Amino acid sequence: MSTKKVNGVHTVDFTTQSSIMETRGSVISGHNVVYSVDVRKGPCCCGQVTQKQILKGVDCIFKPGMNAILGPTGSGKSSLLDVLAGRKDPSGLQGEILFDGVPPPENFKCMVGYVVQDDVVMGTLTVRENFQFSAALRLPSNLTKADRDERVNTVIQELGLSHCADTKVGNEFIRGVSGGERKRTNIGMELIISPPVLFLDEPTTGLDANTANSVMLLLRRLALKGRTIIFSIHQPRYSIYRLFDTLMMLSLGEVVYHGPTKDSLDYFHSIGYTIQEHNNPPDFFLDVISGDFNVDVDTLDPEKTSTDEEDVHGALVQKFRQSNVNAKVQSEVKAIFDEYQSKLTKKELVSLPPVEYNTSFFTQLLICSGRTVKNIARNPQTSIMQLFVILIFAAIVNLLANQKMTLRPGNQNRCVCIAIPGNQNRVGAFFFIVMNQVFGNLSAVELFIKERAIFMHENVSGFYRVSAYFFSKIFCDVIPMRLFPVVIFSAVTYFMIGFTAEVDKFFIYTLSLFAVAMAASGLAFFFSALVKIFAIANLCIALCYVFMMVFSGLLINISSIAEWLRWIKWLSIFRYGLNALNINELKDKHFDNSTVCGNDYLSEQGIEYETDFDLWQNIMAMLVFSAFFLILTYVRLATMNKLK
């Protein structure tokens, strides 16, 4: 770390190579921290909005070492952790959070490590590849590849993952590493940058007792090397509890103990709570906070459904405020805050520069694209199924129009005669083809839903810009999942059915189907970014597709629909796709066994076909439709609230 002067203000520079490689803990302090959220009472739209205080005037200090935040469900421990890590909406936050005695820099959340409760690593990548992804994006760009690889190897050894470094983490299709190794991988993703503070939200959740103990021993070793580790935890066993250096206990958003772990039992004994023999201290603390400590099981009232938690809470808070333990904490917190206020008054405050991305947009795009390609290649079930469905539909289309079509000389109406029993088979085939392209691209709905947690965590942690992630996903999805299947489907159906054997018409046919696929995918991408639950997104998209199908002009003639409803036709992917295919294949053609010329059919359906523009405007409309929803998708990803 070094200081420099920018525009007359002293700033701290964390971007030097030495600061990346060294282990350095920092001190985080909270001063009268209040955090509130809006709560709506009554119906979701009309209910009265009131504010509920989650944290109520919390003063705290966390130094290098193992700092645990303990409390029952709803006590505010996760909220306090998020506030300290800069991951809460600042609109509901009051008070001061100081980082080494100064306000945290802008995007402070990007410079500290934060391990979420649920695993957020790419399961198709190996442990080493996940670490390399984090290193390539988060370490300074002036580091060489050898330096980054060395850092990755150091973290692997530090976490004891050498034996499984080249094993895939695993997902629902791939068997991977164990639960403890997966949790260490999550921790390693943050340790790559050697953060001054490492936050962990319930690090033992979902782990068996032995694995949880192994993970906490790992954190203890990291703390002994000088790191500041702050974590929330619910109900640890004694072997884990004894690893804590300091312990903070919360009850209904207020502090009931904050001090050395070794003094906690003596403190509770001093206020009248003595732990029973063989009882686990964390269980004892939670019983006291919940008001269940003095419950006599022999005289338990079966009619009483609640405890005296609020009464006990008030007494515990009051006693702690009057204790010597709190007096010591308050003296340390006050000293830090007074020094901060003094420097602020004298304009000697050392401010921290905003935390910015360490890599350029194009670097992020390249690295994110590389991970996406690996993910698709190693998890091919979706792409293989998509290709399989495409081939099945192609075979069905061929059965629907099972007669080869042969051209004959044109007649006096300048139409070309075609040996097919009327135009019904052909138009039906077009409708089935468009429907296949629309509903066959429903797989696009999982694009952002499946990786939603990973994206939100990595973006808020400063891995990459939203734009880099968005374009990497779109580019790497469109080519293998949208373009290739369309080309294969077109090559199979066009010549097997026997459409006009002309290169330009085949090209327009393929382009039309690709435009349909992109328009359908664009809508699916938007709902994928908008909705969290796959089933709801799938239902919304299917409803949109059905409405588009009704106003396609085939099932119901547009001219027969009431005028005030006809405008919906301009939103129908089916209509544009059918128009393009019909114009491309039916214009200037006549059918055997039918008195209707292709031009007559187009006119009857209200399809404009006289000029080339009439064809291309339908294709362009679908591409514009796709671009519009892709833009909405990006806006949604960019404006999504990634803070808790």
How many other CB atoms are there within 10 angstroms of residue 533's CB atom? 9
HSE, CB side, 13 Å, CA atoms: give it for residue 211: 14
The candidate with the shortest Cα–Cα distance to 102, out of 1, 200, 19, 173, is 1
| pLDDT at res. 630 | 95
Summarised one tens digit per residue, pLDDT across range 549-576 is 888 777 676 666 777 777 777 888 998 9
Provide the β-strand partners of residue 300.
Answer: none
Summarised one tens digit per residue, pLDDT across range 462-498 is 899 999 999 999 998 888 888 888 998 888 888 877 7
Tell me how far apart the 2 most distant CA atoms of the chain are, in Å.
Answer: 109
Distances (CA, A) of 155 to 48, 165, 371, 400, 562: 50, 11, 20, 60, 68
Q: Which residue has the tokens 């909005």?
A: 49
How many other CB atoms are there within 10 angstroms of residue 44's CB atom? 6
| pLDDT at res. 45 | 57
By the 10 Å C-beta count (0-12 exposed, 13-18 middle, 19+ buried), 110 is classed as: buried
d(CA 333, CA 61): 6
Provide the β-strand partners of residue 255.
Answer: 250
The candidate with the shortest Cα–Cα distance to 437, out of 471, 470, 483, is 483
- Asked if 355 and 108 touch (Cβ cutoff 8 Å), the reply is yes
Summarised one tens digit per residue, pLDDT across range 611-638 is 888 899 999 999 999 999 999 999 999 9
Which of helix, strand or coil describes residue 64?
A: coil
| pLDDT at res. 18 | 36
d(CA 133, CA 19): 20
Q: Is the pLDDT of residue 371 over 80?
A: yes
Q: Which fold has domain 20-112+195-345?
A: Rossmann fold (3.40.50)
d(CA 449, CA 525): 9
Q: Return the percentage of the chain with pLDDT > 70, whole number.
A: 85
HSE, CB side, 13 Å, CA atoms: give it for residue 39: 9
Cα-to-chain-centroid distance, residue 387: 27
Provide the β-strand partners of residue 47.
Answer: none
Q: Is the pLDDT of residue 56 over 50?
A: yes
The candidate with the shortest Cα–Cα distance to 351, out of 107, 11, 1, 7, is 11
| pLDDT at res. 477 | 86
d(CA 130, CA 271): 49
Q: Which two tokens stand for residue 508?
A: 């327009």
Is residue 41 within a helix (H) or strand (E), and if so which, with residue range? Answer: strand 28-41
Q: Which two tokens stand for residue 528?
A: 């994928």
Q: Higher confidence at residue 40 or residue 180?
A: 180
Alpha helix positions (H), 163-322: 179-191, 209-224, 238-241, 264-270, 281-290, 309-321
Dihedral pair phi/psi, residue 100, rounded to 5°: 55, 40
Provide the β-strand partners of residue 589.
Answer: 416
How many other CB atoms are there within 10 angstroms of residue 633's CB atom? 24
- Asked if 591 and 408 touch (Cβ cutoff 8 Å), the reply is no
Q: Is the pLDDT of residue 218 over 70?
A: yes
d(CA 547, CA 618): 18
The candidate with the shortest Cα–Cα distance to 435, out of 404, 385, 477, 389, is 389
Is residue 521 very low, low, confident or very high in pLDDT (cuts 50, 70, 90)? very high
Is residue 84 very low, low, confident or very high in pLDDT (cuts 50, 70, 90)? very high
| pLDDT at res. 557 | 67
The beta-strand segments (E) located in 237-385 are 246-251, 254-260
Dihedral pair phi/psi, residue 94, rounded to 5°: -130, 160
Summarised one tens digit per residue, pLDDT across range 386-400 is 777 777 877 777 776
- Asked if 589 and 597 touch (Cβ cutoff 8 Å), the reply is yes
Distances (CA, A) of 443 to 411, 430, 482, 523: 46, 22, 10, 12
Is residue 284 very low, low, confident or very high in pLDDT (cuts 50, 70, 90)? very high
Domain ranges, ordered by start, for the chain: 20-112+195-345, 361-639
* Average of per-residue pLDDT across 267-292: 89
Summarised one tens digit per residue, pLDDT across range 109-147 is 888 999 998 888 999 999 999 999 999 999 988 889 999
Q: How many residues does the chain have?
A: 644
| pLDDT at res. 335 | 94
Is residue 500 very low, low, confident or very high in pLDDT (cuts 50, 70, 90)? confident
d(CA 565, CA 80): 53
* Average of per-residue pLDDT across 296-325: 71
Distances (CA, A) of 514 to 194, 387, 388, 490, 580: 47, 15, 18, 9, 12
Summarised one tens digit per residue, pLDDT across range 431-454 is 888 988 888 888 888 889 988 999
Summarised one tens digit per residue, pLDDT across range 178-215 is 988 999 999 999 999 889 899 999 998 888 888 899 99
d(CA 216, CA 222): 10
Q: Which residues of 235-266 are buried (b: 16+ CB within 10 A; e: fewer)?
A: ebbeebbebbbbbbbbbbbbbbbbbebebbee
